[in-house]
Amino acid sequence: MADRELVQRVARGEEEALGELYRRHGTRVFRFALTITGRMELAEEVVQETFVALWKGAGSYAGRSQVSTWLLGIARNQGLAVLRGERKGGRAPGAPPELADPAKTVHAEEKRAAVWCAVQGLSAEQREVVFLAFYEALPYREIASLLGVPEGTVKSRMYHAKRKLAEVLS
Amino acid sequence: MNRDCELCRELLPWYAVGVVGAAERIHLEEHLESCAECRAEWAQVAELARAVQETLRELPSPGERVWGGITARVQPGPLARVDVGSFLLGVSVWLTVRGRHVLLGGDLRLLGRKYRLFAEEA
């Protein structure tokens, strides 16, 4: 069943459809949220808020973008809201994500940890562009539409993110 | 660095993941053939894109408690509900609030499973 049809079913109150959308998109939303917030517990909070927002607002989906992109847009708003709350509330830092895979070499793990730290060293605006381009493989036009900024801004954020990442990782 | 180099370098991250338009790709590839500096930049961007992709794809998935938290929040009690039949075979008609909408719905219960018959705005 297509994502769009599932959203329509969610709008009619079908929990099974919400569960299917979660199975299809929960991980991408979580990883996006983790990239934005940098913390597991905050990313989990963002995923919850995103799918609850989907449950309440499925009827407002206009079908102008892919459901996955629409969900990432919701997640982004939720992520930024959570980050704003964090700054106000001053919660203690949480545990970083567990990147290690025992089957992989120590060298590869060290490299991934270094890349993750470098990504987290970017601004939130740069991190979201990096995720949407490199993980989601979204064209810059779609990213601009999702973020509500001009295409030139997306390219500029990526340009600076790329330079910063290259500096840190070189 | 001329304007062609700038345009090329702006697009390289998206070229690395294969999402530039056909016309842009042709222009970019022609430029890369003729510009050694941009070819060097391309090598760096391709490596960076690969490293970031690998890292993001190794990020964990959400724990089971996340879905549990979602279901707990999307199952508010109905405003009114009428059940007929039993757990094995029965029908429910309910009235609930979803966001700004009041929904009237009906479910069929069959052998412990629930099937939505209808859900309409009341």
For chain B, the domains span: 3-57, 76-121
Pair (A166, A114) in one structural domain: yes
Pair (A89, A36) in one structural domain: yes
- pLDDT tens digits for range B66-76: 998 898 888 76
* Domain end point (choices A97, A128, A159): A97
What ipTM did this prediction achieve? 0.84
Q: How far apart are CA B113 and CA A15, in angstroms?
A: 13
* Domain end point (choices A97, A120, A144): A97
CB atoms within 10 A of CB A16: 14
Pair (A85, A134) in one structural domain: no
pLDDT of A106: 65
Per the CB < 8 Å rule, is B13 touching A134? yes
Pair (A90, A24) in one structural domain: yes
- Shortest alpha-carbon distance between residue B111 and chain A (Å): 17
Pair (A103, A80) in one structural domain: no
Mean pLDDT, rounded, for A57-70: 89
Per the CB < 8 Å rule, is B13 touching A15? no
Mean pLDDT, rounded, for A77-83: 88
- Interface residues of chain B, partner chain A, Cβ below 8 Å: 9-10, 13-14, 16-21, 44-45, 48-49, 51-63, 65-67, 69-71, 73-75, 96, 98-99, 101, 103, 105, 116, 119-120
Looking up tokens 């930024």, which residue turns up?
A80
| Chain A residue nearest residue B78, CA to CA | A13
SS (H, E, C) A64-110: CCCHHHHHHHHHHHHHHHHHHHHHHHCCCCCCCCCCCCCCCCHHHHH
Q: Looking at residue A151, which CATH number applies to its domain? A: 1.10.10.10
pLDDT of A93: 47
- pLDDT tens digits for range A156-165: 999 999 999 9
Query: What are B64's two structure tokens?
Result: 């089971």
Residues of chain B with pLDDT under 70: 76-77, 98-101
What confidence category does residue A96 fall into, taking pLDDT thresholds of 50, 70 and 90?
Answer: low
Pair (A132, A85) in one structural domain: no
| Chain A residue nearest residue B54, CA to CA | A112
Domain span at residue A106 reads: 98-170
Per the model's pLDDT, the better-predicted residue between A91 and A139 turns out to be: A139
The tally of domains found in chain A comes to 2
* Domain end point (choices A42, A70, A97): A97
Q: Which of A162, A165, A169 to mutate to test the interface with B (most CBs of B within 10 A)?
A: A162
Pair (A102, A113) in one structural domain: yes
Pair (A84, A106) in one structural domain: no
Pair (A68, A116) in one structural domain: no
